[in-house]
Amino acid sequence: MAEADIDDLIEIIEKEGNIEDIPKVIPMMPVRDVVVFTDMLLPLFVGREKSIKAIEESVEFDRYVFLSVQKDSEMEKPGPSDVYDIGTIARVQKMIKMPDGRIKALVQGISKARLVEFVQKRSFFKVRVEIISDVEPDSLDIEIEALMRNVKENSEKLLALKGEFSGDVGDLLSHIDSPGKLADLVASNLNLKVEDGQAILETTDTVARLTRVNDLLARELDLSTVQAKIQTHVKDEISKNQRDYYLREQVKAIHRELGESDDKLAEIVDFKEKIKKCKLPEECEKEALKQLTRLEQMHFDSSEASVIRTYLDCIVELPWSKTTKDFLDIKKAEEVLEQNHYGLDKAKERILEYLSVRKLNPKKKGQIICFVGPPGVGKTSLGRAIAKAMKRKFHRLSLGGIRDEAEIRGHRRTYIGAMPGRILQGLRQCGTKNPVFMLDEIDKLGNDFRGDPSSALLEVLDPEQNFEFSDHYLNMPFDLSDVLFVLTANMADTIPSALLDRMELIHISGYTRQEKVVIAKQHLLPRKLKDNGLTRRNIQFSPNAMESIVSEYTLEAGLRELERKLDSVCRKIARKIAEGQKGRFAVTCQNLTQYLGPPQYINEMDQEESQVGLATGLAWTEVGGEHLYIETSLFPGKGELQLTGQIGEVMQESARAALTYTKANQEALGIDKEAFDSNDIHIHVPAGAIPKDGPSAGIAIATALVSAFTGKKVNNKVGMTGEISLRGRVLPIGGLKEKALGALRAGINTVIIPEKNKKDLHDIPKSVKSKLTFICVKDVREVLDFALEAE
């Protein structure tokens, strides 16, 4: 309240208004958000059309207007039922018309009144009112005086807290000796809710009204006290921050005077901002800030400061919360896989299954997939295709030859030149915590006195543990559960069993001749043309030329040798063009020797016809399936057995078992008993520089032995694989799919396999099964019936 209005207000309060002159029917104006009390001076801004007309009507006649509060302050056009019945009759002391059409009116509360009826409703409200008189006490007893004194003192305290108390205010309060007038004055200056103000207005008992005002005043005083404390606290905090800022500026000035750089302070601030942006887990952030505090207390150029600085750099550069959004459109993913890889149906099907489960249940812990197969079949490129299909970052880590555990877990910071392990370094390079992480050549891990890397990988590749992977350098847990780990290996035998148990193996056997031709035309040739600066216009392959390259110049499960041959052809044509020759160069079966020389492999097997003592076995190798010749020769001697061709112990045992079976069944096989006593036996496996081992050549050795002793030829179009027992049973073997592909590449059309391997035919492609005849046998007798030619 302004001090200039104090004297006027005292005069108004002391003045007894003549309420008998107030007409019974007066204009009525609804007001919003304010309750007008008796003797209250209040400026009103009037903008509604009906309200403006009501004020104008009031000013034109006797200046009286009835003010009643709206029940809903948001209502623009209130009706008779939307205002309270009890309001205040006010006198319009002054009215000013604003340029925008609104009216500013200064009104003074005269008396409380009850709305009896609405006389007029159309252009503006006109109502019949009834004056309400207050119920005053007969005398001011001690309790009432104490109540009034308490209200006055609390009012002064409240004004003092707000900084509005003055001596004039004290005089004003001391001049009031009526409980009702005191209640109305204090209530008009409190920030009351409409409901509370209306309840006070409707209370006619002045003592009860003052008691209610006293309760509201006490509550307002408590709120103001708490608010003042908060403001004081905030002011103190601001003062402290200003003091700290001033001191820091002084420290900077001192450093500048000493010629020292303030780069250290800038670096500390930069680290704090980066740590905050990283959104580290609570414990990790606490450790990072602890190390930052240590750095702040050290000399800028000390060696320990350099170590901590490098450590903090590692922390803030790791993707603690950065992820890429997975793209899980299964149809699109299938298209991406088909575009990048031909064949490999089983592997692609498993990848699409993983993506489908990921789409339906994003929180499922991912399985570790391991592609096992010979070199050059596309294991690594499959990992890239997965990343491309999911739109994730891709990182490849080659594990071949790694012998130090610190390569996986990192070095402790106490060592000079310590650094994080290769896992965290890879994530640091990717910049996201959910890349496709390929661990290549996991079967070639080593171990020595520096530790066992495969044991360190157990925590990395276990979904139940890797959400808290601990790197020795970082020394705080890092969540690897969002990383999709894809592994590759040429063979599963050398992978440690504990590690093998944590992954799902997907075997990739290799490609058939027809698949190689398609891949060469669709993928390899376009790539080689681009690498050598050629276009489709420069070179043309005849329909059979590509098949000739595949069948006569390559003999592998993968595609690398085929890729090199195509590269050789493109290089020679590039040279011709560079020398100035023009035209489109044709590559045909007839001129293929000009580009690649004579054929390195014949289309059919090395043997042109069936021979005695020469059987064809099938072997599994790291580079795929291959055919294997078993040669047996007899010469005069004492029945001794000689084995050559770098045969391992298991294969040697198979040869002895085959010989024992042949001797034990000589009569049934039609072999003369004296043939064993008068001849030495020499079993040789060609390609003597290559080590060979395994039991699956057992039936091939037995067939070669029986052929040599009986003189019957072994069909050169029949390949066989199976372990032999002393009783002649044919036992199951592994790698049937690879061996079948090797037989097909070698031109074999009939393959003899153990009966118990019949279930494995399901995994062999239909294109392979349509070109091969598989014969399932239980006993060596059955093998001999099919493999030996009749005399």
What residues are designated binding site for ATP?
373-380
**Nearest C-alpha neighbor of 539 from the set 595, 605, 593:** 595
How far is 176 from 178, CA to CA, in rounded Å? 6
If phi over 0 gives left and psi between -120 and 50 gives alpha, with beta otherwise, what is residue 653? Answer: alpha
**Alpha-carbon dihedral 649, 776, 346, 344, rounded to 10 degrees:** 80
Q: Which residues contact 679 (CB under 8 A, 6 or more apart)?
A: 634, 635, 636, 637, 639
How far is 219 from 479, CA to CA, in rounded Å? 53
Helix/strand/coil (H, E, C) string of 513-558?
HHHHHHHHHHHHHHHHHHHCCCCCCCEEECCCHHHHHHHHHCCCCC
- What is the enclosing helix (H) or strand (E) of 713? strand 713-714
How far is 543 from 308, CA to CA, in rounded Å? 66
- Using the structure block, give the residue that is written with the tokens 């010469």: 635
CA 183 vs CA 5, 150, 780: distances in Å: 19, 12, 119
- Cβ burial of 504 (10 Å; 0-12, 13-18, 19+) is exposed
8 Å CB contact between 478 and 524: no
Hey, is 732 helix, strand or coil?
Answer: coil
Give the distance from CA 633 to its chain's centroid. 65
Within 533-672, strands assigned E span 539-541, 585-587, 611-612, 614-621, 624-636, 641-644
Query: What residues pair up with 682 in beta bridges, in sequence order?
Result: 633, 642
Query: What residues pair up with 255 in beta bridges, in sequence order?
Result: none
How far is 784 from 718, CA to CA, in rounded Å? 11
Active site residues: 696, 739
**Nearest C-alpha neighbor of 655 from the set 723, 712, 720, 755:** 723
Q: In terms of DSSP bridges, do strands 484-489 and 368-372 run parallel, antiparallel, or are they unpaired?
A: parallel
| DSSP symbols for 52-106 | HHHHHHHHHTT-EEEEEEBSSTT-SS--GGGB-SEEEEEEEEEEEE-TTS-EEEE
8 Å CB contact between 714 and 787: yes
How far is 426 from 440, CA to CA, in rounded Å? 13
**Nearest C-alpha neighbor of 707 from the set 654, 760, 662, 742:** 662
8 Å CB contact between 560 and 376: yes
Hey, is 302 helix, strand or coil?
Answer: coil
Opening angle at CA 578, ends 574 and 579, nearest 5: 120
**435-456 exposure pattern, b = at least 16 Cβ within 10 A, e = fewer:** bbbbbbbbbbbeeeeebbbbbb
**755-787 exposure pattern, b = at least 16 Cβ within 10 A, e = fewer:** bebeebbeebbeebeeebebbbbebbebbbeeb
How far is 557 from 555, CA to CA, in rounded Å? 7
